Chain A
């Protein structure tokens, strides 16, 4: 492989998704929560990259993968200001819209340590409600209501 082709493989993406403007420190959590390494596709991660308005940011590129609308919405709970670009033939063909979902299943753990969802063969499930000052998440099982940041910061 020539040096030029090798550099392009790492830096540019022919087809796939770029998740950019992730708050610094959250990149690896997104990688883990969305199991982005488990698709068998090439993943490039940039941590603490310099960013004009953010200071520092993380970035993830995944080859040959487009996030579902559901995944993009779940991402909105974690990093509402990140951008998700779909790449085809090295060009950005569209930006995925991130909207806070009404429900979220299987991504986040319940923050209540006595919730049965930690020990039984069920997926976590939250109903999400955006209020004037906060976004609340209610566990379907223990029925406890948490501020969004408590749940998404829980793993």
Chain B
């Protein structure tokens, strides 16, 4: 029997069941331990990046090529027919007739869902505006499993921009299928959106809003840091909150031994460099895991069995 993700579009985390999320995590671990160079042999994958990206595009392209597949694509919409006014629907129709799957990033929210309605091959969403970035969540889940040995009943603190951070929203939605407990730490103006809190309430997930990073550190398995973007605030407001949501090594004294710090990167100044050398820092390994999680995802979408 084909795996449940075979030939499926990968658009949004709420489309996934708990079993499907676990399905990606397993082969990601296997591929990290023993690389395979044959899973995408003779496959051609398009990476269509209508807006720039560094890690996502390069890690998808690395994943394809390490699995023996080939890549075509573009990294900027300026050089495509979009510039001439072609709709995304038409662009996708054409590219899907050339390739076995399309990985895409687009500045408009919902772009990947629209693409999936016009594509003959699976669409993998590499980010649609501020909406979803499912492969980031899959690599986050893989990293949680790798560091904690499980996905069930983890206690996770999300810090920083909880309002606009799509990685935070998607990971919270995914972990709510595994009975997690959350702490939300961030400026009031960037609090978790109501609709997400309502979703968590409906699933019986407990969450606590905390004022400082220090007070949550002794209680958590994962500290998920995000960047508070300066442009969200006026100068005076920013000065007030600046420094409040910054993690320094001396704040980690009471951390559990298993506690790991994750960050979707790029970080700017929300994690000071002295944290990098602590046993809790795991964000660079997390970024590296992006390749394995994407390898697992592509393998499952393009092969009946893996």
A residues near B (Cβ < 8 Å) are 112, 114-117, 119-122, 131, 136, 139-145
Contact = CB atoms under 8 A, between A and B. Distances in A.
B87 interface: yes
B89 A143 contact: no
Contacts of B195: 136, 145
Interface in B116-175: 117, 128-132
Contacts of A112: 109
Given A141-B109, A142-B110, 15 more contacts: A112-B109, A114-B108, A116-B88, A116-B108, A117-B110, A120-B87, A121-B87, A131-B198, A142-B128, A142-B129, A143-B14, A143-B109, A143-B131, A144-B109, A145-B195
Main secondary structure of the interface of A (DSSP, over half): loop
Contacts of B260: none
Given A136-B195, A143-B131, A145-B195, A116 B111 contact: yes
Given A116-B128, A122-B117, A139 B87 contact: no
A128 to B, nearest CB: 14
A122 B114 contact: yes
19 contacts: A114-B129, A115-B109, A116-B106, A116-B108, A116-B110, A116-B114, A116-B128, A119-B87, A120-B89, A122-B117, A131-B198, A141-B110, A142-B109, A142-B128, A143-B110, A143-B131, A143-B132, A144-B131, A145-B195
Nearest to B113: A141
A119 to B, nearest CB: 7
Contacts of B87: 119-121
A120 B132 contact: no
**Shortest 10 CB-CB contacts between residues of A and residues of B:** A141-B110, A142-B109, A116-B108, A116-B110, A145-B195, A142-B110, A116-B111, A120-B114, A141-B113, A116-B114
A142 B131 contact: yes
Nearest to A146: B195
Contacts of B47: none
A115 B106 CA distance: 11
Contacts of A119: 87, 108
Contact of A121 (B89, B109, B113, B198): B89
Contacts of A120: 87-89, 114
A112 to B, nearest CB: 6
Contact of B110 (A115, A121, A136, A145): A115
A23 B98 CA distance: 54
Contacts of B59: none
A144 B12 CA distance: 12
Nearest to A110: B110
Nearest to A138: B195
B84 to A, nearest CB: 14
A95 to B, nearest CB: 35
Central interface residue in A116, A117, A141, A143, by most chain B CB within 10 Å: A116
Contacts of B129: 114, 142
Interface in B173-217: 195, 198
A117 B12 contact: no
A143 B108 CA distance: 12
Nearest to B90: A121
